[in-house]
Amino acid sequence: MNMYIDIVGACNLSCPSCPMGNSENTNFKKAMQVEMFKQIVDKASREGVKSVFLFNWTEPLIHPRIDEFVAIINAAGLQSGISSNLNLVKNMEKALLANPSFFRISLSGFYQETYKQGHAGGDIEVVKQNMLKLHEIRQLHGLDTVVEVYYHRYLDNLEEEGLMREFSERLGFRFATGYSVMMPLEKTFAIIEGDASVTATDRETLKRLALPPYEDLVNLVKQFPQQACTLKDDWLVLDCNGNTVLCCTIFNQAEYSVGKYLELPVQELMSRKSTQKNCVDLCSRCAKNGLHIYSTQPNKGPLESHAVNRIIDFQRRTILEMPIDSEKLGRSGEVSAEQFDEVEYLRLNDDVKTAVAIGAFSSGYQHYVLFGRLEGRLGAGFSTMF
């Protein structure tokens, strides 16, 4: 069993697909006390918890004593983890020097114009500088923390994914990707049920998603076989006041609290998730719409295929709508078939690689000739034509 704890009640960014950016925050906004946290970890280690991650909705590097939190987890013999947007530097070094098992960097672009849409209020150049600092600290002190860069995929940021992958891997960081989904669960409900609380900003964000919770997607996830919800059954989620929350996808933590973690055995807390009326009602509503599948499996099977189809449609529409530079319509400056670097082109353009894999294009070179040369795609090689 894994435990996820918001050790603070705030975030420095206002990302539009996250409740910290798209919902009113009525949760506790204070910082968790270290003394309370130590008691929580002591109890968790006795109750079979294997990992404690210092995040759910908020930014853990805000907490000035984050290094002590990591040290407490490590001393208990548990796996420790941090996830950060890495726009803050103040507590970054001491957090890493505490040697967490896992440090994730969450981002959504390589250039600022793209990045600021998914990580509103952030600066990707600051993030890159902090990534370099993390690399230097890890090298200097011989730390074994696994640093992972997690790239949130949107329809319009795929062509920058290869650049961030290359940048990350050169620093020795692990690189992972996933399609962004609209959270929290309350917001997703509002969208699929046509609630008036869905804002114009929400609708703009939905246009960028490969997996917006529209009717076609909801009909798809409803067809999945009935299955247990791992988010409810396998995860313990705590707010910064030590309350146990039904699920990590819920933002209204006070309404869906099942009790103080330090006051009840874990078996009782987990049982309440399946017996407390408001929790049962919410879970039934979620499962009816297949949203537990939407939350847990956006990068697998039919949902991945659904996302890829939307990406191809988006790319085709974008190409039809984009202004064409008449000078590029000729073959001047084009990389020839003999000079074309198929491997490098696919490596730097993950969306093209996916499109080739599913048969939308016969090769990277076909994409380049039809579209890539007009888009200024990287990785084709060098032209010998003048």
Domain count for the chain, please give it.
2
Stronger pLDDT, 36 or 381, i.e. the higher one: 36
For residues 244 and 382, state if they share a domain. Answer: no
For residues 47 and 170, state if they share a domain. Answer: yes
Which residue range(s) make up the domain with 380?
323-386
For residues 258 and 327, state if they share a domain. Answer: no
The CATH number of the domain holding residue 32 is: 3.20.20.70
Residue 146 lies in a domain: yes
Residue 225 lies in a domain: no
Least confident segment among 42-56, 248-262, 360-374: 360-374
Provide, rounded to the nearest whole percent, the portion of the chain with pLDDT above 70: 94
The pLDDT-based confidence of 383 (bands split at 50, 70, 90) is low
For residues 258 and 367, state if they share a domain. Answer: no
For residues 27 and 135, state if they share a domain. Answer: yes
Instruction: State how far the Cα of 377 lies from the Cα of 294, in Å rounded to an integer.
Output: 32
Cβ atoms within 10 Å, residue 320: 7
Start-to-end CA distance of the chain, whole Å, equals: 62
- Nearest residue to 32 via CA among 57, 62, 52, 2: 62
For residues 357 and 250, state if they share a domain. Answer: no
Residue 207 lies in a domain: no
For residues 54 and 142, state if they share a domain. Answer: yes
pLDDT at 313: 83
For residues 126 and 247, state if they share a domain. Answer: yes
The pLDDT-based confidence of 386 (bands split at 50, 70, 90) is very low
For residues 256 and 350, state if they share a domain. Answer: no
DSSP E strands in the chain: the ranges are 2-5, 51-53, 79-84, 102-107, 146-153, 174-179, 235-238, 243-245, 257-260
For residues 242 and 385, state if they share a domain. Answer: no
Residue 188 lies in a domain: no
Q: Work out the average pLDDT over 121-132.
A: 96
pLDDT at 372: 83
The pLDDT-based confidence of 326 (bands split at 50, 70, 90) is very low
CA 334 to chain CA centroid, Å, is 37
Alpha helices of 184-328 — where are they, by DSSP H? Answer: 185-192, 200-208, 215-222, 230-233, 266-275, 277-288, 291-296, 301-321
pLDDT at 384: 52
Q: Work out the average pLDDT over 293-299.
A: 84
pLDDT at 68: 98
The pLDDT-based confidence of 322 (bands split at 50, 70, 90) is low
What average pLDDT is seen over the chain?
90
pLDDT at 297: 82
pLDDT at 100: 97
Least confident segment among 66-75, 81-90, 288-297: 288-297
Residue 122 lies in a domain: yes
Integer angstrom CA distances of residue 180 from 28, 157, 158, 209: 26, 11, 12, 7
Stronger pLDDT, 325 or 189, i.e. the higher one: 189
Radius of gyration of the chain (CA): 23
Residue 213 lies in a domain: no
For residues 251 and 331, state if they share a domain. Answer: no
Residue 198 lies in a domain: no
Domain boundary among 213, 247, 264: 264
> What's the burial of 375, exposed, middle or buried (CB within 10 Å: 0-12/13-18/19+)?
middle
Residue 288 lies in a domain: no
For residues 138 and 251, state if they share a domain. Answer: yes
